[in-house]
Structure 1
Amino acid sequence: MAGTGTQRKSDTRQRIQDIALDLFVEQGYEKTSLREIAERLEVTKAALYYHFKTKESILVSLFADRVEPLDELIAWAREQPRTLEVKQEFLRRYTEQLKASSRLFRFMQENQAELRDLRVGETFKSRVDDTMELLLAPDPSLADRVRCTAALISLHAGMFALKDVEGDPEEKYDALLEVSFELLAAAHEGRGPAA
């Protein structure tokens, strides 16, 4: 019986996160209230408050649940040699994480100003910094730093930029990954793009 109660609490928590994320994406973080989340859930604000005291606590839980696999990926990459193949595998797996949490990353893209002032913004910036460290070669040139940054940004911003372009989402991710690989290869070898 205890497991059933725990499962229900977990299901409720997940449902709250999903509804809140839907509202955050639809109307923005600042414009979404706990009351609106409760109304969409068809529960009282007090019932919502039992699980989450603030909007930020919902957002923190979303990041904790959905960014944890990214932490595991970063830990994996730190244990690997810094070869181009490992960096490419890292970006391939990173892209899978982006796909799995596409709504969260879309929200982040559209609410950058608000996130900058929240704890989760700092947390995510730290993950991006860790990721950049893994992609860079030792003592990279400024141009190679730009290439690695562009490789990562193309994955993050690319799906948003391509959302209105006709095509299969998987083909879009493949195209973004191809461009990221090209930039990463040029940075890894310490040279500009091939002529």
Structure 2
Amino acid sequence: MNARRSDTRERIQQVALELFAERGYEKTSLREVAERLQITRPALYYHFKAKEDILNGVIEDLNRSIDELAGWAAAQPRTDAARRAILDRISALLQGQWRPLVRFAQVNQAVMSELPAGEEMRHRMMKIVSVLARPEDELIRQFEAKLAVIALIMGSASFLLGPDVSDEEQAATALAVAVKLASGR
């Protein structure tokens, strides 16, 4: 796939996710996506035949990045510094590349539960939740490690700490809590 076609697909996915989060998945049409992008519907259909295709493409991209992160995390030593580096990467992805889909999933939980790709995303997110603990760790340690990653995920929800807290402050707060949990202290 050439770079221009890839850029167009990414733009379509980004704008569609924005609209899905604003208006809801069910209430957003491909016509509205095309209008927001200022492209014709045939140009949009060239890349995606249906809303589900757009969403599945976004989820596939997310799943690939989760697999990459999980593979990298599994290769790290079990030290405080490595746990911090893992948390930093997860936080950066949640605030960057993963942010639109996480926001979409928070607003459109029913849609995510109906899609096979949504189930696959949940399975992969549990993989990420488990990267800081090993099966042989004591149960409390495993739970703290999972809560650390869940804290980061919850920190990407813009409403969690209130309307007066910026996304950056919320993400930093979530990371600080996650580091405390992951250190087991």
**TM-score, scaled to structure 1:** 0.80
Once the two structures are superposed, residues 68-116 of structure 1 have per-residue CA deviations (whole angstroms, 9 ceiling, x without a partner) of 3332221111122233332221111110111113222111122222101
Contact residue 66 and residue 128 of structure 2 kept, 8 A: no
Query: What is the CA distance between 1:140 and its match in structure 2?
Result: 4.4
Q: Using the alignment, how far apart are the partners of 2:76 and 2:165 within structure 1? A: 37
Task: For 1:34 and 1:17, locate their aligned partners in 2 and report how far apart those are by CA, in whole Å.
Answer: 11
- Cα distance in 2, alignment partners of residues 109 and 141 from structure 1: 31
The alignment-based identity, stated in percent, is 41
Distance of aligned partners of 1:10 and 1:137 in 2 relative to their CA distance in 1, 3 Å threshold = closer
Letter of the 1:174 partner, please give it: A
Which structure would you say has the larger Rg? 1
CA distance in 2, matches of 1:56, 1:163: 32
Q: Across the two proteins, how many residue pairs are aligned to each other?
A: 182
Residue 152 of structure 2 corresponds to residue 151 of structure 1: no
CA contact (8 A) 1:21 1:104 kept: yes
Task: Note if 1:127 corresponds to 2:128.
Answer: no
Whole-Å separation in 1 of the counterparts to 2:15 and 2:103? 15
Unaligned stretches of 5+ in structure 2? none
Residue 185 (structure 1) aligns with: 183
Q: 3-state SS of the aligned residue for 1:53?
A: coil
Counterpart in the other structure of 1:27: 23
Measured against aligned partners, the alpha-carbon deviations of 1:111-170 in whole angstroms (never above 9, x if no partner) come to 222101112212211222212332224344554444333222211112321361334x43
CA contact (8 A) 1:70 1:94 kept: no
Q: Secondary structure at the match of 1:134?
A: coil
After superposition, where does 1:37-48 map in structure 2 within 5 Å?
37-48=33-44
Contact 1:152 1:180 in 2 (8 A): yes
Cα RMSD over matched residues?
A: 2.3
